[in-house]
C-alpha cells in the first residue's frame, strides 16, 4: 500500500486538505502504525463489540434498531484485518454511533478516521448531563489530503475540548447516504492544544468568548468545531482560485454580477491569508453573503446549533400608525409589527405590538450587521426589499441578540404604551417547543373550514373557499398557497390544484383573491400555470439555461437584451396565459415575501387586464435558478446562476415585481383584527365584480 496526496479538483466535494505531522503513519511495507500518542486507537476487529460499543440514544431507541454496519475482513484493512462497512441508509434518518472512552480530565484532542468509497458525514460528539453548565459539543471531520493506494482517505477534526470528568457520553457519529455504503477503519484520538472552557455569553460580539469563538444562543461556540481544517498555504491558494472561478463563471445575472460579485471576490482573496480554520471558512461564508442573492447561501454545522429559548411571535413590516408618537420612524426602514403569535412562549407580546429595537438599533439595521457571523442571513436581490429579514427576525434575536424592545398595545382600547418594554434574551426560559410559522398572513380569510391550522403551517397545501365577510351575491373566492413546485409535470400535484381551483372560479366567482404571501418559489411551469386564468397566450420573457450565460455579465443595452429575447424566445420562453382565460374576472394577487418562481409568477400576472397586485413592496427579484454543492464536514452551498430577459430587453435579476397597489399593514388594523392588504384587495374587487 502506498500513501499519497489527493489533488484538488474543481467545484465541490474534492477540495481536500493538508495532513498534520502528528498522525498514524505507514511503515516501509505499507503497514498502518497508530500514533503512539493516541489516547484512543480503535480498530473494528476482535476488540470491537457491537453490543457494547454501539450507542443508541434514548430518543432514537425503538426506531434505529437495525445496525447500519457490517463487520468485514480483508487484507486491505488498515488496523488489523477488520473494518466496518456502513449502510446507514437502510433506516431513514438513522446514523451510527460508537462509544469512545476519553481520559477523565480536561483536555483538547484531534480525531482521525479513515474511510473509503462514497462519502460519509462524521463527527465526534460529547454529551454533558444537565446541571454541569456545559452544552453538547460536536466536532466535524473532513479530509486531510492523505490517501492510500487502495483507496483509504484520512478524515480529521479540528481541536476540540472535552471535560472528561463531566462528560456523560462521548461517541463517534457516522452517516453514509450512498446506497452502496462506505468503509471506515482506524479511529484515533490524540491530545492537541489547550483546553477551552465553555461559558455563557450575551449577544453577538460578547468579548467573553475570545478569538475564534462566537456567541450563539447565549453560549460561546468555538468556530473551528463546525468547519473543516485549515488547508495549507499552497492548497489554500488553489482552493480560493476554484471558489473564485465558480463565481466568475456561474454566478448570477447582470445586476448581481456587476454590483455584488466584485466584493465577494475581494473577500475570497482575503482568506488566502487566513491563520485559522474558522477565519478561512467563515470568510468564505461572508463572501457568499456579499453576493446578496435570494438563491445563494452557505450552510454549515454552525447553522444547526439548537436554540435554547422560544419567541413565539412573528414580525412583518408595516406602518405603526398607532404608536408613531411613542417611537419615531426610521428614515430608511419600515416599522416592524407583530403579525401573529403562538399560544405559549409569548411573554405578553401580542398581535399589533411593535418591535422598535434590537440591541438599541432598528431591527432591520441590526440584522444587516450580522453578515460576519450569520451564515444563513437570507437577503432579497432587490435592494429595496427586507421582507426576508423581517420573517427571520425572531430566530436572529434568539441566536444573536442581547435585548429587544417592544411597544405593547391594547386591542380593546386601540392604544399603545408610551414607553417600550425591554426583554433580555438571556432571561428567556429554556424552551425548545414548537413555534407558530411566520407566513406574513395575520389572519386567514375563508368563511368555511378551509383555513390552515393555528400554527399557520400552509406547507404544500392549497386552501380554497369563499372569502369571509363577503356576500353570496358577491361571489368572491380565494386560493391560498405558498409553493409553485410543478416539477415539469403538467398534471403534477401543484399544477393540478391550481388548474382545479381556476376551473371552479370560472364557474362560480365574480372576483378572486390569490394569496401567495409566503412565496417559496418552485419551477417555471407552475408560474406559467398560475397566469392562465387572467390573460391570453404571450411570451413575456426568456430564461436561458445558465450554461448559455456562463461568464456573461448580461446585456448592456435594451437592444442587446431584445436580441437575446428574440434568440431564445422559441427555446427557453416563459409562455403565459391561455386561450380559455376569463377576460371579465377580476383577480387580486397578494404578495409579501416572494422569490424565484414566485417572482416569475407575478411578472407573468402583472399588466393583465383584470389583475391588480397588492403588496407592501416589490418581490425579491430572484430571477435565476441555482446550483447546489456539497462538501465534507457538513458544508454545503447554493449558488444562483442565470438571468431572465424580458420582452423589452431588461435583465430582470435584482429587480422585484412592483405591486400595482402599495398597501402598508397598519398597526391600527392589526389591533382591530384586520389584514390591511387583504382588506384593500376585497374593496377593489367589490368595485370591479364580474357582471
pLDDT digits (tens, 9 = 90+) for 379-435: 999 999 999 999 999 999 999 999 999 999 999 999 999 999 999 999 999 998 999
How confident is residue 79, by pLDDT bands cut at 50, 70 and 90? confident
| 197 HSE (CA, 13 A, CB side) | 6
Q: What is the Cα 386 distance to its own chain's centre? A: 16
How confident is residue 509, by pLDDT bands cut at 50, 70 and 90? very high
Q: pLDDT tens for residues 453-494?
A: 788 999 999 999 999 999 999 999 999 999 999 987 777 889
* Domain map (residue ranges) of the chain: 3-198, 463-537+577-621+656-687
Interval 140-168 mean pLDDT:
94
Q: pLDDT tens for residues 601-613?
A: 999 999 999 999 9
Interval 194-198 mean pLDDT:
95
Q: Shortest CA distance to 183 belongs to which of 2, 49, 44, 50?
A: 44
How confident is residue 1, by pLDDT bands cut at 50, 70 and 90? very low
pLDDT at 122 over 90: yes
Q: Are 124 and 108 in contact (CB under 8 A)?
A: no
Q: Are 635 and 298 in contact (CB under 8 A)?
A: yes
Among the residue ranges 116-120, 273-277, 382-386, the one predicted with the least confidence is 116-120
Among the residue ranges 62-76, 96-110, 156-170, the one predicted with the least confidence is 62-76
Interval 335-356 mean pLDDT:
97
The better pLDDT of the pair 575, 149 is held by 575
When the pLDDT of each residue in the chain is averaged and rounded to a whole number, the result is 92
User: Residue 279: left if φ>0, alpha if ψ -120 to 50, beta else—which one?
Assistant: alpha
* Percentage of residues in the chain having pLDDT higher than 70: 96
Supply the pLDDT for residue 404: 98
Supply the pLDDT for residue 188: 95
Supply the pLDDT for residue 22: 53
Among the residue ranges 20-34, 341-355, 404-418, 673-687, the one predicted with the least confidence is 20-34
- CATH architecture of residue range(s) 3-198: Sandwich (2.60)
Interval 108-114 mean pLDDT:
97
Which residue(s) pair with 458 in the sheet?
none
Supply the pLDDT for residue 392: 97
Furthest C-alpha separation in the chain = 91
Supply the pLDDT for residue 642: 96
Burial class of residue 536 in the structure, from the number of CB atoms within 10 Å of its CB (0-12 exposed, 13-18 middle, 19+ buried): middle
Supply the pLDDT for residue 92: 63
Q: pLDDT tens for residues 532-576?
A: 999 999 999 999 999 999 999 999 999 999 999 999 999 999 999
Supply the pLDDT for residue 56: 85
Q: pLDDT tens for residues 81-90?
A: 899 999 876 5
Strand order through the sheet with 463-466: 463-466, 476-480, 511-515, 587-590, 611-615, 661-662
Supply the pLDDT for residue 50: 84
Fold agreement (3-198, 463-537+577-621+656-687): no
Supply the pLDDT for residue 577: 98
Q: Are 40 and 189 in contact (CB under 8 A)?
A: yes
Q: Are 436 and 455 in contact (CB under 8 A)?
A: yes
Q: What is the DSSP string of 264-317?
A: HHHHHHHGGG--SHHHHHHHHHHHHHHT--TT-EEE-GGGGPPPSB---EEEEE
How confident is residue 94, by pLDDT bands cut at 50, 70 and 90? confident
* Range 463-537+577-621+656-687 has CATH code 3.20.20.70: no
Phi, psi of 496 (to 5 degrees): -70, -40
Tell me the CA distances in angstroms from 221 to 205, 274, 399, 587, one per residue in order.
Answer: 12, 19, 11, 50
Amino acid at each position: 500500500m502506498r500513501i499519497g496526496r489527493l489533488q484538488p479538483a474543481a467545484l465541490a466535494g474534492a477540495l481536500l486538505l493538508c495532513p498534520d505531522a502528528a498522525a498514524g503513519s505507514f511503515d516501509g511495507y505499507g503497514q498502518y502504525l497508530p500514533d503512539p500518542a493516541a489516547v484512543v486507537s480503535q480498530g473494528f476487529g476482535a476488540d470491537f463489540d457491537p453490543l457494547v460499543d454501539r450507542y443508541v440514544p434514548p430518543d432514537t431507541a425503538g426506531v434505529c434498531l437495525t445496525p447500519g454496519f457490517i463487520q468485514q475482513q480483508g487484507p486491505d484493512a488498515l488496523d488489523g484485518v477488520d473494518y466496518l462497512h456502513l449502510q446507514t441508509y437502510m433506516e431513514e434518518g438513522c446514523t451510527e454511533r460508537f462509544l469512545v472512552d476519553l481520559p477523565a480530565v480536561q483536555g483538547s484532542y484531534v480525531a482521525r478516521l479513515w474511510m473509503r468509497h462514497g462519502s460519509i458525514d462524521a463527527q465526534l460528539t460529547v454529551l454533558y448531563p444537565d446541571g454541569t453548565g456545559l452544552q453538547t459539543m460536536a466536532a466535524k471531520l473532513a479530509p486531510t489530503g492523505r490517501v492510500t493506494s487502495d483507496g483509504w482517505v484520512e478524515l480529521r477534526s479540528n481541536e476540540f475540548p472535552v471535560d472528561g470528568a463531566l462528560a456523560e457520553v462521548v461517541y463517534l457519529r457516522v452517516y453514509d447516504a450512498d446506497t452502496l455504503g462506505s468503509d471506515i477503519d482506524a479511529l484515533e484520538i490524540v491530545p492537541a492544544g489547550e483546553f477551552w472552557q465553555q461559558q455563557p455569553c450575551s449577544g453577538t460580539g460578547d468579548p467573553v468568548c475570545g478569538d475564534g469563538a462566537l456567541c450563539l444562543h447565549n453560549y460561546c461556540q468555538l468556530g473551528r468545531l463546525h468547519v473543516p481544517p485549515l488547508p495549507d498555504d499552497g492548497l489554500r491558494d488553489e482552493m480560493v482560485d476554484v471558489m473564485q472561478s465558480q463565481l466568475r463563471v456561474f454566478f448570477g445575472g447582470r445586476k448581481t454580477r456587476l454590483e455584488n460579485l466584485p466584493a465577494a471576490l475581494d473577500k475570497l482573496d482575503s482568506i488566502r491569508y487566513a491563520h485559522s480554520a474558522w477565519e478561512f471558512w467563515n470568510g468564505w461564508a461572508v463572501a457568499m453573503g456579499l453576493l446578496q442573492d435570494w438563491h445563494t447561501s452557505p450552510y454549515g454545522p454552525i447553522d444547526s446549533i439548537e436554540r435554547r429559548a422560544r419567541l413565539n411571535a412573528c414580525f412583518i413590516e408595516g406602518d405603526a400608525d398607532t404608536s408613531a408618537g411613542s417611537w419615531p420612524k426610521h428614515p430608511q426602514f419600515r416599522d416592524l409589527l407583530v403579525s401573529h403569535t403562538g399560544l405559549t412562549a409569548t411573554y405578553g407580546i401580542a398581535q399589533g405590538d411593535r418591535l422598535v429595537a434590537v440591541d438599541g438599533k432598528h431591527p432591520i439595521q441590526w440584522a444587516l450587521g450580522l453578515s460576519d457571523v450569520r451564515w444563513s442571513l437570507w437577503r432579497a436581490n432587490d435592494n429595496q426589499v427586507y421582507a426576508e429579514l423581517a420573517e427571520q427576525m425572531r430566530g436572529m434575536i434568539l441566536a444573536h441578540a442581547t435585548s429587544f424592545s417592544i411597544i405593547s398595545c391594547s386591542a380593546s382600547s386601540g392604544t399603545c404604551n408610551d414607553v417600550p418594554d425591554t426583554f433580555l434574551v438571556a432571561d428567556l426560559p429554556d424552551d425548545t417547543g414548537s413555534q407558530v410559522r411566520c407566513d406574513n398572513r395575520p389572519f386567514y380569510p375563508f368563511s368555511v373550514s378551509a383555513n390552515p391550522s393555528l400554527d399557520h403551517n400552509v406547507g404544500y397545501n392549497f386552501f380554497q373557499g369563499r372569502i369571509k365577510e363577503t356576500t353570496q351575491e358577491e361571489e368572491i373566492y380565494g386560493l391560498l398557497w405558498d409553493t409553485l413546485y410543478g416539477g415539469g409535470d403538467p398534471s403534477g400535484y401543484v399544477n393540478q390544484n391550481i388548474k382545479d381551483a381556476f376551473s371552479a372560479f370560472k364557474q362560480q366567482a365574480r372576483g378572486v383573491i390569490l394569496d401567495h404571501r409566503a412565496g417559496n418559489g418552485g419551477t417555471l411551469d407552475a408560474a406559467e400555470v398560475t397566469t392562465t386564468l387572467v390573460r391570453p397566450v404571450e411570451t413575456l420573457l426568456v430564461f436561458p439555461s445558465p450554461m448559455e450565460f456562463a461568464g456573461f455579465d448580461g446585456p448592456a443595452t435594451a437592444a442587446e437584451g431584445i436580441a437575446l429575447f428574440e434568440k431564445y424566445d422559441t427555446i427557453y420562453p416563459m409562455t403565459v396565459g391561455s386561450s380559455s382565460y376569463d377576460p371579465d374576472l377580476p383577480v387580486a394577487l397578494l404578495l409579501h415575501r416572494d422569490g424565484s418562481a414566485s417572482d416569475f409568477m407575478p411578472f407573468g400576472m402583472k399588466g393583465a387586464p383584470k389583475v391588480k397586485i397588492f403588496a407592501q413592496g416589490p418581490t425579491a427579484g430572484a430571477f435565476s435558478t441555482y446550483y447546489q454543492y456539497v462538501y465534507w464536514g457538513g458544508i454545503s452551498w447554493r449558488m444562483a446562476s442565470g438571468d431572465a430577459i424580458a420582452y423589452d430587453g431588461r435583465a430582470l435579476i435584482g429587480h422585484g415585481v412592483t405591486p400595482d397597489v402599495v398597501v402598508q399593514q397598519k398597526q391600527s388594523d392589526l389591533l382591530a383584527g384586520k389584514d390591511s392588504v387583504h382588506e384593500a384587495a376585497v374593496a377593489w374587487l367589490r368595485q370591479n365584480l364580474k357582471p
